[in-house]
Chains A and B, each alone.
Chain A
């Protein structure tokens, strides 16, 4: 180990163990997973999601949502509390992230896990309210307000369909309405697409009622 070639070969070999064992293995084994067929509906799983959800993924990245929210339901051999808490019906597996161009696994839960938020809060109206004024639907929430994703504008004639239905203390001044921007709509489309509740060969969904 006094000479560079010896030292370098040693470092290379040892480093290769983790590089091959983790990176190459995951890229080749998990990275090549294909969608699984759904016997009941003939579709493939995980389900595809539409263009606005794909755009919403970029909004999720830009706002740094992964700093506070995770997107993984943990394996039951480690802990069953994620499932018991209703954050999912089964643990997340690698194939669940197949359609994501960026897998936002997250490493911090300042806010709840989002991997099944499309099941827990399937109404876009709730999602918009929550983004605009989190306190209006979740009292005491740490979540900051993302009002910059919305536009407060004067009501032209009638309220537009997309206007948020805010409670009195959060509503804008009379004659004004809050309308989501394209970014907000895309983000909500992405959030509503988040679900890991379908069965996969390596992750069956237990039909027993005791899951939730």
Chain B
């Protein structure tokens, strides 16, 4: 459907949904497509890194294939190449749909598309910079300064429009369609530039004294996950699960409480990554409390959404439903594991081991990725205005992803338990303990392989859909 025939709807009357989809088509396909391809690259690099961990001599001595570089590249690609782009796409689509306002004007569309191109260019250059040895060395912020500035600029070009849509939505007075989802989108889009900008400013652009850097790093890791990626994931769940089920939220009154608690605790929960570290005691305790209490807003979301039943809808919605439901389950699991490792006695043995890695895997690859994949699977047929998913491929891809992530998380958790508990005895040598972890590393490499396969399938599926659209356009 050509956008030139799509008139701007005035007043409170919401635009036709297909009109909205047509207007955001190019940015969204650009975002989702690039995100999926970065997911494949990230998964491949992570797989390579895990093989190096399982067999330390593998590809040894090559400068740009060092474990540290592979690990940094893959992690940043997961964060900025895959998750952030998919989150931006979800934000644009859901905000446009729920507000009933199409993306109007060629200029705005050009700006947003250019921003997306800039983003992907930045990610590519940043990855190559790490490969070449120009990493900043700061966790999750390894991209050089000029790359992170590009990312921030590109985000601002998109984010401002998305946030402004909240006020221009078509049905403000009526209490709102899935308004909870909209709050989370606005919160996420507001927090990203602030969190990312502050952290970069204080850690890489004009670094503060080293004594303060640890705290800012820990805050950033927590805030990036919990105040940017997770709100977009929750927004997707709040928007799509009720819609796909045709039912209401179970306890809608809890939503505002959940939202504000979420925002409040999300900034402090990152401190639980620094328990026992060189930070004042009160900040450790604040991190412990916030990390555990973070369960409350998550439980509120789960209470609201877990009891919805799938009903009717298109066949294509089935796969989206599966991803979203798993996403909700993984949100709960991540929050439970996060609360578990925030307990000081647990952190005593679990910190620095596979247990905390498992928490990150569950949050990033599990909760966030699955919900965003759900949005992707719901949005793409709408954007292309046709049924696109090959059922067999989609189901295989889903089960491979689920198996890969769950296996990886469980293996990391078990490895962390074994290593962490063994380390408690100071007499046992460290090298001895690393040998206990070896079999786990081999299995984790296998789990990464499974996840890689699913990523490849996802990218293939999407590319197939796009190609079909190109070759057999529906007029």
Q: Which residues of A contact B (CB under 8 A)?
A: 1-4, 7-8, 10-12, 14-15, 17-19, 21-23, 26-27, 29-33, 57-58, 60-68, 70, 72, 74-75, 77-79, 81, 84-86, 91-110, 112, 134, 138-148
**Contacting pair A17 B137 (CB below 8 A):** no
Summarize A's interface: helix, strand, loop or mixed.
loop
B172 within 8 A of A: yes
Q: Which residues of A contact B2 (CB under 8 A)?
A: none
Chain B 121-146, CB within 8 Å of chain A: the 1/0 string?
Answer: 00000000010011111110010000
Q: Which residue of B lies closest to A75 (CB)?
A: B276
Q: Which residues of B contact A27 (CB under 8 A)?
A: 202, 208, 212, 216
Q: Contact partner of A26 among B172, B216, B431, CB < 8 A? A: B216
B105 CB–A CB distance under 8 Å? no
- Check A101 against B210 for contact (C-beta < 8 Å): yes
User: Which of B225-270 touch A at CB < 8 Å?
Assistant: 227, 256, 260, 263-264, 266-268, 270
> Given A17-B267, A78-B344, A144-B56, are A22 and B209 neighbors across the interface (CB < 8 Å)?
no
Name the contact of B275 in the complex, choosing from A31, A78, A92 (C-beta under 8 A): A78
Stretch of B187-195, B327-335, B388-396 at the chain-chain interface: B187-195
Give chain A nearest CB distance to B408 CB in angstroms.
15
Whether A108 touches B357, Cβ cut-off 8 Å, given contacts A30-B215, A74-B276, A97-B210, is yes
Interface residues of B (CB under 8 A from A): 52-53, 56-57, 60-63, 66-69, 71-72, 130, 133-139, 142, 163-164, 166-167, 172-173, 175-176, 179, 183, 186-187, 190-191, 194, 198, 202-203, 207-219, 221, 223, 227, 256, 260, 263-264, 266-268, 270-271, 273-281, 283-284, 286, 344, 347-349, 351-353, 356-357, 423-424, 426, 430-432, 434-435
The 9 closest A-B pairs by CB, nearest first: A64-B68, A18-B267, A61-B137, A97-B210, A78-B276, A74-B276, A100-B210, A31-B212, A109-B352
- Given the complex of chains A and B, what is the CA–CA distance between A94 and B57 in angstroms? 36
Cβ of B60 and Cβ of A147 under 8 Å apart?
yes
CB nearest neighbor in B for A202: B280
Interchain Cβ contacts under 8 Å between A and B, 11 examples: A3-B172, A19-B267, A23-B198, A31-B208, A62-B134, A68-B67, A92-B278, A102-B210, A105-B274, A109-B352, A141-B434
Given contacts A66-B139, A94-B212, are A101 and B217 in contact (CB under 8 A)? no
| Chain A residues within 8 Å of B214, by CB | 72, 94, 97, 103, 105
Contacting pair B210 A72 (CB below 8 A): no
How long is the Cα–Cα vector from A151 to B353 in the complex, in angstroms?
A: 34
Q: Given A17-B264, A74-B277, A95 and B211 touching (CB < 8 A)?
A: yes
A105 and B275 CA atoms in complex are apart in Å by 12
Contact for B62 among A70, A78, A148, CB less than 8 A = A148
Pairwise interchain contact B137-A31, C-beta atoms closer than 8 A: no
Known: A4-B166, A72-B277. A142 touches B68 (CB 8 A): no
Q: Beyond the given A14-B263, A17-B264, could you list 18 further A-B residue pairs with CB under 8 A, ordered by the A residue number?
A: A4-B167, A22-B270, A30-B209, A57-B137, A61-B136, A64-B71, A64-B72, A64-B135, A75-B281, A78-B276, A78-B284, A96-B278, A97-B278, A100-B210, A102-B203, A134-B56, A142-B56, A144-B57
Q: Complex Cα distance A163/B217, Å?
A: 39
Shortest distance in angstroms between A34's beta carbon and chain B's nearest beta carbon?
9
Please determine whether A1 and B256 come into contact, CB atoms closer than 8 angstroms.
Answer: yes
Which of A12, A31, A57, A74 sits near B209, CB closer than 8 Å? A31
A64 to B63, CA, bound (A): 11
- Are B352 and A108 neighbours in the complex by a CB distance under 8 Å? yes
Distance A204 CA – B57 CA, assembled complex (angstroms): 42
With a CB–CB cut-off of 8 A, which chain B residues contact A98?
209-211
A97 and B210 CA atoms in complex are apart in Å by: 5
User: Please, how many angstroms separate the alpha-carbon atoms of A26 and B286 in the complex?
Assistant: 14
- A21 contact set on B, CB distance < 8 A: 267-268, 286
A101–B473 alpha-carbon span in the complex (Å): 56
A13 to chain B, nearest CB (A): 9
The residues of A that contact B284 with a CB separation of less than 8 Å are 75, 78
Whether B212 and A68, one on each chain, are in contact in the complex, defined by CB atoms closer than 8 angstroms, is: no
- Kindly list chain B residues whose C-beta atoms are within 8 Å of the C-beta of A92: 277-278
Distance (whole angstroms) from the CB of B128 to the closest CB of chain A: 13
B261 → chain A, closest Cβ, in Å? Answer: 9
- Please name all residues of chain A whose beta carbon is closer than 8 Å to the beta carbon of B71 when the two chains form the complex: 64, 67
